């Protein structure tokens, strides 16, 4: 990516987390990736970081089915918070239920990617996500748009 960006990965499946990290790097993303295994850890980090105002924009890659606090609730809390609501959130999940997809978009997710069950298709989907992230413009959530 052209600018500094932290990628926050909220994924409880360690195999999926490893594949996502590896294939984003293969696509050319060299950004810092911070991994959390449940929604509670993810929210704790996001709200602590917001208080520190570190100035580095973030992107959240968020699984839905996680322990403690699920991804839909994480998304809801992020989008309700004035300091976090502009942060892009991409849902990456095995859930392909149209109602769940609609719900996540209504709550404010930027994109929704269904993780294919097939290994090669999963790897390809993450590689394409990496290529997309190389060209997309991410808002700086720390700057006002007055």
pTM (2 decimals)?
0.84
Spatial separation of the C-alpha atoms in residues 83 and 131, rounded to whole Å: 28
Please state, rounded to an integer, the average pLDDT across all residues of the chain.
Answer: 83
The reported pLDDT for the residue numbered 59 is: 87
> CB within 8 A of 66, min separation 6: which ones?
10, 11, 12, 37, 38, 39, 74
Does 3.20.20.70 match the CATH number of domain 6-51+58-134?
A: no
The reported pLDDT for the residue numbered 40 is: 95
Q: Strand, coil or helix: what is 12? A: coil
| Residue-wise pLDDT tens digits, 74-125 | 999 999 998 888 889 999 888 888 899 999 999 999 889 888 778 788 878 8
Cα–Cα nearest to 91, from 116, 113, 72? 113
The reported pLDDT for the residue numbered 143 is: 55
């Amino acid at each position: 990516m052209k600018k500094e960006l932290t990628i926050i990965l909220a994924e409880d499946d360690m195999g999926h987390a490893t594949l996502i990290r590896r294939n984003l790097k293969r696509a050319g993303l060299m950004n810092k990736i911070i991994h959390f295994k449940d929604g509670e850890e993810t929210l704790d980090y996001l709200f602590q970081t917001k208080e520190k105002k570190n100035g580095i924009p973030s992107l959240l890659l968020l699984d839905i089915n996680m322990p403690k606090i699920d991804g839909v609730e994480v998304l809801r809390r992020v989008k309700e918070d004035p300091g976090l609501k502009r942060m892009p959130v991409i849902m990456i999940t095995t859930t392909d239920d149209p109602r769940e997809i609609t719900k996540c978009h209504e709550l404010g997710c930027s994109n929704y990617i269904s993780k294919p069950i097939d290994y090669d298709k999963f790897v390809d989907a993450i590689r394409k996500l990496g290529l997309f992230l190389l060209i997309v413009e991410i808002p700086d959530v720390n700057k006002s748009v007055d």
